[in-house]
Structure 1
Amino acid sequence: MSSSAASSAVTHAQYYEEMKTVTDNVNGFFKLIPKYLQKLLNFECEDKVATQTYRAYMEKYRDEPFKGVEWKRCRGKSKKIDTATSPDGLDIIALYALFEGIYAAKNDVRDKTKMLEKLRAVKEPRNNACHEEPDMYNSNTFEEMKQEMFALLDEAKQFYDKYKSDIDSMKLELDRDIKTGFSPGATVQSFNCHRILTKGKDIAIARFQKYKEEALHFEDGTVTTVKRPEVFHPIKVMLQDRRLPFQDLFQSSSSTEQIVLISGEAGAGKTTLLMNIILHFTGDEDYLKSFEILVYIDSDTKSLHQVANGHFGDVCTELGSDEAVLEALSQLHVLFLVDGFDELNIKSTTVLYELLQKNWHPNSRILITTRPQDSGELKKFLSKPHVHKFSAYKMAPFSELSEQLKFIERYAQSLADDPASPLAMRKRFEEFDAKLQKSFTEPISLVHFCIIFKKSPEKINQWGSIIDVSRDRLELIKTYIEDKLIKVTPNNNADLMKGLFLIFCQWALKFLVQNKITFTADDRNELRETCCRKIEQYGALHVVDAKTILNVMLKVRPSMSGHANETYSFSHKSLQEILAAHFIFHKMKKSAEPVLESVGVTAETCKSLRVVLLFVVQVLRDEEPEIFKIHWPKLKEALCHSGVDFFGAAMNCVARCPGVPEMAELVDLTPPVYRWRVWKGSDVAAVASILLHAQARPQRLQVWMEASILRKEAGSWTKLLAATSGVEELELCLRPHNSDQPYDAYQSDDDLIEPLLNSGVRLVKFDGCVGTAAGVAALAKVGRDAFFNIHLATPVALSALKPRSHDFFTVWTRPLSPLSPIDPKWLLPASALTSLFVDGADEGAWEAAAHTISAFAFIRRKHTITWFRTLVLKNSRLCKADLSLLVKELHHRGIRTNHAKEEGTFAAIDKDCVHLIITDSLPRAGPAGPSEVRIVKPSSWW
């Protein structure tokens, strides 16, 4: 045998032995030891109820509950113990913590010293192997583990005397498990997984570390480096109308929703969110602990093999191929982050298709970011039979001034040269008109505010809308380029400077038409040659360096996936879009003929250009209204081709261009819909504009938003109601839906209700607070056969209301003083489906609750008994004795609830609600009197 063959044989033998060692150690630490510790724990907890948590089990022996610090000290870092009711799925660390905690809680006469020593002896090697890689490759590690396990079982046999025979059987079973545990095929996979989780993970994390800092490229050419964790503002996401912390994206463990889609406008913080998730993964954040490895896929990636090689480098070579790495990843809990479906061209969709075609571990997750206009296409792609179910979230815009100010403070502290600047920035933003403040809904727009405040604060005084911010940002770029070129351009040639600037604008559009945001080295060289030709036209090639201009306009874009080749881009996609829009605007100013097709804007390419087109519309309408009239028909057609082919997209365009009433015409080009949703503050002005300037009408307007938000849009709300001719129905819901903000449900909404009198619309649903007779009168006039859910700021007469006889009529009130007089006008409308909620009854105040219910009780015709569909105490602090007295008193006063099938009179306690069930019949077993009252759980009767 040749020396090379012999060397190869030795290598393979060593490789095989190494794999066997790693597999034995992994199986021992993560399967065998937990398996037998779980059996021993069941012996220790023989008297534990199956549904009882270990915490409750320990507290039973302690005779007192754990305090917060005590419990954390007891369970250590093993948070699974908090809710665990069985040992299944618990690792060595958690199991050891349980043994230690239970022994301490029982505090019995048994001497547990030796047992704890043996338990520690099997725990410590696991810790060493997991934190010291050489131990995992040491064949002695498994041998020592076996010895310690058998020693533990020997000690357990003495400690758990009644289970001696069971433990003898366990020793035989352990011996069989050890002998049959090694399988060459499984070993290869185990070894590969281990190498990814050790060396591969180290390589990936080392690459991710460089993203702890972010280089902010400003339009004046300066670059400021900031630490991402310091400027990261905790982003909220939206699921339907619920605002949630971004960490909630990872709460669901359902394998049926393995894919998470996040859509957001340019500058909403999608990439920033992913980069901070990456940094959190390299740290110790709880919300990511279920994932073993993280893989980032950016818009330059073309295949999963490139992903594997980019992330894990030498590990691919060590394991023999990229495919071996991908196969190992399929066995692990992987978090895939795909940044920017909207930024992928046709070629690079390959990686997304590959990703979705493969079978990953059920606990893996794929998180994809996109823009709203592209989310529809992505959802169609994800809806194909081979793809798992997905959940769709949106980036939540900044809706509160407090959020905006916190964001400004974070960035200002990184940008400021002196401590006073952050306060000055904050104060200046607070001085803005509320309408202008509300236009800063995306993080990127607030960053622009900070930059312009720092570089040209005088410009801010001229701002009237968000379009002014973008315009000034563009001016900053032009000014900087001029400053750079003026020193080297012959005779300060303004035409050359303008020509060079337009080249970049043209290239920005050219790449967006191709749905690209990155320049390869070849692209950059081609752009440089184009600049050189322009410079040569002016005879300045020997004094003007095109490379200097490129460095001004483009930044190096290192690949997060670890690719060797650098790419280039504008500082942000939003800047690229502004430049592209400027090029179209420049062309339209110079020509009365259609120009869109000549610059590459066609029906096929419009889809990636909606933001650009909206910017063109705003600037052209604002600066050149007569030229706008000429080009509007083609712009409108292009917007339709960009995906504005349904009402929601059209309304979004109207909202983004508040000074362009012609935008409402887009709605007339979309299919009619039954219901228009007005769920955000910006929707109010948009729908008002549509009703004023378009022909389309819905049958129903659905206005669902917190009263405080609608109140800020009071002017637009009045305009909307005045323009409702042709709209038949209105839903007005003024309470927050799953809001994370504090809310006063008893603040009167009469100022929002009374303008309804100026509309011809019929109110079919109302959910809000009334506090005056005028508010009730307005509801009574427009709310015919309506669904009402009314909070009373103060008791008022509601008898004028005409609820739907077949639907619910619900009233909420706070308790009245038992000594306060009752106005007969407070009686609720006579309806068999009326429900009354009494909110916040204090401890011992059952008489106040009885007085309040009686004050609103109505009398059914031909009866002397008052009927409610339901009676509920919300947030009640009444004790069981108080509740007994309350239902007895209500029964005595002739008040009944619509529970004819129930037997008796009782209260059903359900968390923060107490349902009062009051019928004519009494408990079968009790005496004939209302004093027999049952306090039961709701599950016993509904």
Structure 2
Amino acid sequence: MATTTQVAGTSGSLLSSVDLADEMAGIYSNFFGNMYLSPKIMRFIVRKECHGKAIDETYRQYMERLRGSPFSNKEWKDAFRISRNVLQTDRNPDNLDVTDLFCLLENLFARAADNGTRDITGMMNKLRVVKDLRNEVMHNMAATADPQKFSDLTTALLELVRETELFYSLPQAEVEALEKELQDDIDRRLAPEKQVIYYTCSRLATSGKNAVRILWETRLSSEVLMFSNEKVHRQAVFHPLELMLKLGASGNVIPYTEIFQVCEKFIVISGVAGAGKTTLLKNITLQFFELQQVKVKYLQPFNQLILFECRDRSTKTLSEVIEHHFEDLCSNIRKENVLRALLHLDVIFLIDGFDEINKVSSNVVMEIIKKTWRSNCRVVITTRPHFVKQLALILSKNDICHTECEILPLIKLENQLKFLERYEEYHGGSNRSGELCRSFSLLDKNVRSLFTEPLNLLLFCHLCRHFPEKIPLWQTFADVASDIFLLYKTLVLTKIVDSNYINLEGLVDDQFLCIGAAALDFLKSNTLSFSEEEFRSIKKMCNFQLKSAEGISDIDAEIFLSVVLKVHRPFSGKGGITYTFHHKSVQEIFAGKYIVQRILSCNDSINSILGLTSIKRNW
């Protein structure tokens, strides 16, 4: 059946016609029932149960007054779980959804049961049916589209009203008025007034997930390896990471798939440069859309996923982020309405690289923080360790509790070999030689300790490919650093081998000193990511060095920079490009080479070199 539905556009007009297709009507009804009707009846019960609560009391204060003593933080956390932050601050049931309302009533009734004053069995059974229907409809697409679920819900709600009559000995007139109001709501569920949000939720459920899948599939499903143009399928080489829970969690180690088992809605994942933070979020995104056609249990409770990068300098508001994810839907419905609807669903917000936040992206992050903590959303934010305190302070100022997890380095040899095996298997298939893993396992233990992050292990793959004969000779970090530097030099020389310039190796050395000087300046300010403007500044300095060498006309500095620096293009395809060294240790190697050369050629002291703000070009 064709649909003639018109929805809110830029003018903000409401639905003018609701001749919905059967499936859409079923989905629409289920969202309407579970997001409007169920909370409405449960709020009625909360008001009856909390008849003695003062208007200015929070639900935590009310519960503490009833029990005669304050909750410890652990008691409150254990009793109210994911709803504890909302119930700690809210005073009005109108702000609570089904999950929060059920949790509150469960605790209120449990106290009554402990006192032996009332039999709560019938009431809790009826409430649990309503809560379970909500969870089934919100997390199972087949149930979401099943019109029978709405019929089941209306029956359950009417039974809950009758149970409420008995439980509170309500006057018949009050019960009949509530039943009539419920039935009127049921009968006019497809009426246009004030129903845009439920229609939008139904659209998000039917087409929103596929729209976002299409957005991210081509961008994230493969990656180009550093030092080559080889493409690999990201999930084929992804190494499952382990995380250590921090902040009072006794340092428990969990697989990354258990991050959503924590109570807090906000999860901060920290890790050093190259630990795999961005790769982890990309993999979660790909798993969410089931590109491997498998069910991923830890992601099943969520209806939708939003991915945002803190390095983004062009997206100014959360509404613009939503518009980018749901472009077609926002063309028919105002993006503000899409955002409102989205916040009624169970959504994961993935925020990548808080350590790269800027004035523009900070506005978006603050919007996410302020608009999601009272909703069903979960927010995962990655950052480097030295930005954790700053992020924790921001969350605390917004009354948000969070769980911090740290990505564990790959210290055990068996885990390092498993990582390497994935890349070797991907390239060699059934013909892989195993030489990569054998070479690594024969390394001195102290040398192996240099390769504890995924990015460094990937660097080992390239070193093994280019200089297999050198690897058995490694004894110290200096040996490894020297060959890393040699790898970069070799790769650059292959790109300029056709030049007529006589001393190409000397030219590369001079260019690497320019880059090393920039690396040192950025390290002094703890900068690992460079903007396009900063990249142009480095390029200008390198080209200045090239012009000082006679007989060069066919080489541009960008050739050297393209090998040494990694280009980060926004996931979304919008906004500016940023640049980094492939790893902080590589940046340190280039900076170290520059320092050594300054000492040898100019007899400068370490203090004078580190104190310079400008770069000396006459070596």
Q: Quickly name the TM-score band, shorter chain normalised.
A: 0.5 to 0.7
Q: State the Cα distance separating 1:520 from its structure 2 match.
A: 5.0
Q: Is the alpha carbon distance of 1:31 and 1:431 closer, same or farther for their aligned partners in structure 2, counting shifts above 3 Å? A: same
3-state SS in 2 of match to 1:491: coil
Q: What is the root-mean-square deviation of aligned Cα atoms in Å?
A: 4.3
2:365 & 2:34 partners in 1: Cα distance? 40
Do structure 1's residue 246 and structure 2's residue 259 form an aligned pair? no
Q: Deviations over 1:790-832 (max 9, x none)?
A: xxxxxxxxxxxxxxxxxxxxxxxxxxxxxxxxxxxxxxxxxxx
1:595 corresponds, among 603, 609, 617, to: 609
Greater fraction of residues in strand: 1
Contact 2:420-2:461 within 8 A present in 1 as well: yes
Find the counterpart in structure 2 of residue 401 from structure 1.
413
- AA at the equivalent of 2:215: R
Find the counterpart in structure 1 of residue 324 from structure 2.
310
1:214 & 1:224 partners in 2: Cα distance? 8
Q: Deviations over 1:166-211 (max 9, x none)?
A: xxx9998885342243565641222333444444433322121121
1:555 & 1:379 partners in 2: Cα distance? 29
Find the counterpart in structure 1 of residue 485 from structure 2.
474
Contact 1:345-1:515 within 8 A present in 2 as well: no
Find the counterpart in structure 2 of residue 426 from structure 1.
437
3-state SS in 2 of match to 1:397: coil
- AA at the equivalent of 1:352: V
Q: State the Cα distance separating 1:216 from its structure 2 match.
A: 0.6
Q: Is the alpha carbon distance of 1:237 and 1:171 closer, same or farther for their aligned partners in structure 2, counting shifts above 3 Å? A: same
Q: Is the alpha carbon distance of 1:173 and 1:352 closer, same or farther for their aligned partners in structure 2, counting shifts above 3 Å? A: closer
Superposed, 1:493-512 pairs within 5 Å as 493-511=504-522
1:190 corresponds, among 189, 198, 205, to: 198
Q: State the Cα distance separating 1:405 from its structure 2 match.
A: 1.6
- AA at the equivalent of 1:370: T
Q: State the Cα distance separating 1:299 from its structure 2 match.
A: 2.9
Q: Deviations over 1:252-308 (max 9, x none)?
A: 3x3xx2211112122221111111111111113110112222122213224434433
Superposed, 1:575-614 pairs within 5 Å as 575-589=586-600, 590=602, 591-592=604-605, 594-599=608-613
Contact 2:241-2:255 within 8 A present in 1 as well: yes
Superposed, 1:131-530 pairs within 5 Å as 175-182=183-190, 184=192, 186-210=194-218, 211-218=220-227, 222-239=228-245, 240-252=250-262, 254=263, 257-283=264-290, 284-302=295-313, 303-305=316-318, 306-321=320-335, 323-345=336-358, 348-384=361-397, 386-416=398-428, 419-421=431-433, 423-511=434-522, 517-530=528-541
2:180 & 2:344 partners in 1: Cα distance? 30
Find the counterpart in structure 2 of residue 561 from structure 1.
572
Q: State the Cα distance separating 1:237 from its structure 2 match.
A: 0.5
Q: State the Cα distance separating 1:536 from its structure 2 match.
A: 2.1
1:430 & 1:84 partners in 2: Cα distance? 61
Find the counterpart in structure 1 of residue 59 from structure 2.
none
Contact 2:236-2:422 within 8 A present in 1 as well: yes
Q: Normalising to structure 2: TM-score of the pair?
A: 0.67
Q: Normalising to structure 1: TM-score of the pair?
A: 0.46
Q: Which runs of 5 or more residues in structure 2 are unaligned?
A: 1-7, 39-124, 157-176
Q: State the Cα distance separating 1:348 from its structure 2 match.
A: 4.1
Find the counterpart in structure 2 of residue 16 from structure 1.
16
Q: Is the alpha carbon distance of 1:600 and 1:366 closer, same or farther for their aligned partners in structure 2, counting shifts above 3 Å? A: farther
2:453 & 2:400 partners in 1: Cα distance? 31
Find the counterpart in structure 2 of residue 794 from structure 1.
none
2:472 & 2:453 partners in 1: Cα distance? 21
Q: Is the alpha carbon distance of 1:494 and 1:28 closer, same or farther for their aligned partners in structure 2, counting shifts above 3 Å? A: closer
1:89 & 1:444 partners in 2: Cα distance? 45
2:517 & 2:10 partners in 1: Cα distance? 61
Percent identity (aligned): 30
Q: Is the alpha carbon distance of 1:149 and 1:397 closer, same or farther for their aligned partners in structure 2, counting shifts above 3 Å? A: closer
Q: Deviations over 1:640-676 (max 9, x none)?
A: xxxxxxxxxxxxxxxxxxxxxxxxxxxxxxxxxxxxx
Greater fraction of residues in helix: 2
Q: State the Cα distance separating 1:223 from its structure 2 match.
A: 2.5
Larger radius of gyration: 1
3-state SS in 2 of match to 1:560: coil
1:426 & 1:482 partners in 2: Cα distance? 28
Q: State the Cα distance separating 1:526 from its structure 2 match.
A: 4.6
Q: Is the alpha carbon distance of 1:359 and 1:250 closer, same or farther for their aligned partners in structure 2, counting shifts above 3 Å? A: closer
Q: Which runs of 5 or more residues in structure 1 are unaligned?
A: 1-7, 37-82, 96-122, 132-141, 154-168, 602-942
2:366 & 2:591 partners in 1: Cα distance? 30
Contact 2:304-2:348 within 8 A present in 1 as well: yes
Contact 2:351-2:382 within 8 A present in 1 as well: yes
Q: Deviations over 1:403-430 (max 9, x none)?
A: 1221111122234488243x22222222
Contact 2:15-2:196 within 8 A present in 1 as well: no
Superposed, 1:675-824 pairs within 5 Å as none
Contact 1:267-1:574 within 8 A present in 2 as well: no
1:271 & 1:571 partners in 2: Cα distance? 13
Contact 1:266-1:573 within 8 A present in 2 as well: yes
1:19 & 1:459 partners in 2: Cα distance? 73
Q: Is the alpha carbon distance of 1:149 and 1:203 closer, same or farther for their aligned partners in structure 2, counting shifts above 3 Å? A: closer
1:544 corresponds, among 534, 552, 555, to: 555
2:375 & 2:275 partners in 1: Cα distance? 30
1:354 & 1:176 partners in 2: Cα distance? 37
Q: Is the alpha carbon distance of 1:197 and 1:430 closer, same or farther for their aligned partners in structure 2, counting shifts above 3 Å? A: same
Q: Is the alpha carbon distance of 1:504 and 1:92 closer, same or farther for their aligned partners in structure 2, counting shifts above 3 Å? A: same
Q: Deviations over 1:827-854 (max 9, x none)?
A: xxxxxxxxxxxxxxxxxxxxxxxxxxxx
Q: Is the alpha carbon distance of 1:416 and 1:468 closer, same or farther for their aligned partners in structure 2, counting shifts above 3 Å? A: farther
Q: Is the alpha carbon distance of 1:470 and 1:313 closer, same or farther for their aligned partners in structure 2, counting shifts above 3 Å? A: farther
Q: State the Cα distance separating 1:325 from its structure 2 match.
A: 3.9
- AA at the equivalent of 1:392: E
Contact 1:336-1:367 within 8 A present in 2 as well: yes
1:312 & 1:214 partners in 2: Cα distance? 24
Q: Is the alpha carbon distance of 1:573 and 1:197 closer, same or farther for their aligned partners in structure 2, counting shifts above 3 Å? A: farther
3-state SS in 2 of match to 1:217: coil
2:133 & 2:230 partners in 1: Cα distance? 46
- AA at the equivalent of 1:354: E
1:188 & 1:94 partners in 2: Cα distance? 23
Contact 1:337-1:366 within 8 A present in 2 as well: yes
Q: Deviations over 1:871-896 (max 9, x none)?
A: xxxxxxxxxxxxxxxxxxxxxxxxxx
Count of residue correspondences: 486
Find the counterpart in structure 1 of residue 29 from structure 2.
28
2:519 & 2:329 partners in 1: Cα distance? 38
1:16 & 1:24 partners in 2: Cα distance? 15
- AA at the equivalent of 2:332: E
3-state SS in 1 of match to 2:253: strand
